[in-house]
């Protein structure tokens, strides 16, 4: 019974740590508005045009050093930040809503799904929940231990005939 509770508490603690680790990196999005239509693009996803540029570069006759450089450059493209969310990014993404749009027809906005405040609320909630579960699981054992300590303190030895 004790082993099962211990395993359950360990599992709950690991899940709490996992959720905080996942909440540590908020997802960034780029909202591209062309004319009056808008599309939201997840910035962590690889772009649809990176595979086209990669195939054209691999077909050319360059040495292995420059192809290594181009692969490193392409891998950087997959990890974009809010600085990459600009009008050129939206136009290069080849969105159907931006077909025929010029730079002055495009409006961009970058946002993150999770803020630091949201993360703090989630972490505090998970910590409080896990703490209450640990308290509820440990309470019977702590109560028994307190009773044993109380019994030891209230014990008064009785004098025997030989001690007087």
Higher-pLDDT residue of 44 and 78 is 44
Q: Give the pLDDT confidence of 33-42 residue by residue, as tens digits.
A: 999 999 999 8
Q: Is 100 left (phi over 0), alpha (psi -120 to 50) or beta?
A: left
Q: What is the pLDDT of residue 164?
A: 57
What is the rounded CA–CA span in Å between residue 159 and residue 164?
A: 7
> How far is it, in rounded angstroms, from Cα 22 to Cα 40?
22
Q: How many CB atoms lie within 10 A of CB 39?
A: 15
In a 3-state reduction of DSSP, which class is residue 21? helix
As a whole number of angstroms, the distance between CA 50 and CA 73 comes to 10
Shortest CA distance to 82 belongs to which of 116, 21, 47, 31?
Answer: 31
Contact in structure between 113 and 29 (CB atoms under 8 Å): yes
Q: Are 57 and 13 in contact (CB under 8 A)?
A: no
In DSSP terms, 107 is beta-bridged to 33
Domain boundaries, the chain: 1-26+115-153
State pLDDT tens for residues 96-149.
999 899 999 999 999 887 777 787 888 999 999 999 999 999 999 999 999 988
């Amino acid at each position: 019974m004790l082993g099962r509770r211990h395993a359950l508490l360990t599992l709950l603690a690991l899940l709490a740590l996992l959720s905080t680790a996942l909440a540590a990196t908020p997802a960034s999005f780029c909202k591209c508005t062309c004319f009056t239509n808008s599309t939201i693009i997840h910035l962590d996803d690889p772009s649809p045009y990176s595979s086209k540029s990669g195939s054209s570069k691999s077909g050319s006759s360059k040495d292995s050093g420059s192809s290594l450089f181009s692969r490193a450059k392409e891998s950087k493209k997959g990890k974009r930040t809010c600085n990459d969310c600009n009008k050129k990014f939206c136009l290069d993404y080849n969105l159907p809503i931006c077909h025929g749009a010029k730079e002055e027809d495009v409006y961009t906005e970058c946002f993150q799904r999770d803020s630091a405040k949201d993360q703090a609320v989630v972490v505090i909630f998970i910590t409080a929940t896990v703490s209450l579960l640990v308290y509820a699981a440990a309470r019977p054992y702590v109560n028994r231990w307190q009773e044993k300590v109380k019994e030891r303190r209230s014990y008064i030895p009785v004098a025997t005939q030989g001690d007087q």
